[in-house]
Amino acid sequence: MNVDLAERRLASSHIVQIVQGDLTAETTDAIVNAANEQLMHGAGVAGAIVRAGGHVIQEESDAWVRAHGPVRHAHPAWTSGGGLPARYVIHAVGPVWGEGGEEAKLAGAVSGALQVADQLELESISFPAISTGIFGFPKVEAARVLTSAVSAYFLNNESGIRRVRFVLFDEPTVEAFRIAWNEVDW
């Protein structure tokens, strides 16, 4: 069961939340997958999404890569949610820590995912802590970038998205988001 921990209503009327729990249980219109460029969903968040939503997500991902090529940071792919409660999975590629330009790439992945959600005319979306697993992005720094990117997106874009949820699995990640939560210029 997912537990809501914090909520902010922005001046733009958008709601941003911190949640502890299971991303695959989210009932938002879309969840965001922390993907790799080839959309090979074997481990981590991606593996959990395919296990919960079914192999159709991998099949649709394979078709996406065949049609469009590798997924880039600022241009996420999307598939159906398969058997997930969410209708869509938006596959955002976060940066690997140490490759250079990590903050800009992570912010681009968040903005790109929000743009896809707007193109699909979605009202709600749930994000994991992109790049903080095997990609090695430090949790507090990633939390600052992720929350700031959401705030900036709503400040600079007309959007039909009403609610953004950061769904975090473990306590260290929750704590990192609590730190960033109070530092962001909402």
Question: Which tens digits make up the pLDDT trace of 41-51?
Answer: 988 899 999 99
Which two three-digit tokens encode residue 173? 């990640």
CATH number at residue 127: 3.40.220.10
Residue 186 lies in a domain: no
Q: Say how many C-beta atoms besides its own lie within 10 A of residue 164's C-beta.
A: 28
* Interval 27-64: pLDDT, tens: 999 999 999 999 999 888 999 999 999 999 999 999 99
User: Looking at beta carbons, which pairs linking 133-137 to residues 24 or more positions away fall under 8 Å?
Assistant: 133/34, 133/44, 133/45, 134/43, 134/44, 135/34, 135/94, 135/95, 135/96, 135/97, 136/96, 136/97, 136/98, 137/94, 137/95, 137/97, 137/102, 137/106
* Interval 106-141: pLDDT, tens: 999 999 999 999 999 999 999 999 999 989 999 999
Rounded to two decimals, the pTM is 0.96
Give the range of the structural domain holding residue 59, as residue numbers without chain letter.
3-181
**Nearest residue to 23 via CA among 78, 85, 82:** 85
Report the percent of the chain where pLDDT is more than 70: 100
Residue 186: pLDDT band by 50, 70, 90 thresholds? confident
Which positions ≥6 away from 59 have C-beta within 8 Å?
none
Residue 17 lies in a domain: yes
**How many domains does one find in the chain?**
1
Residue 8 lies in a domain: yes
Mean pLDDT, the chain, integer: 96
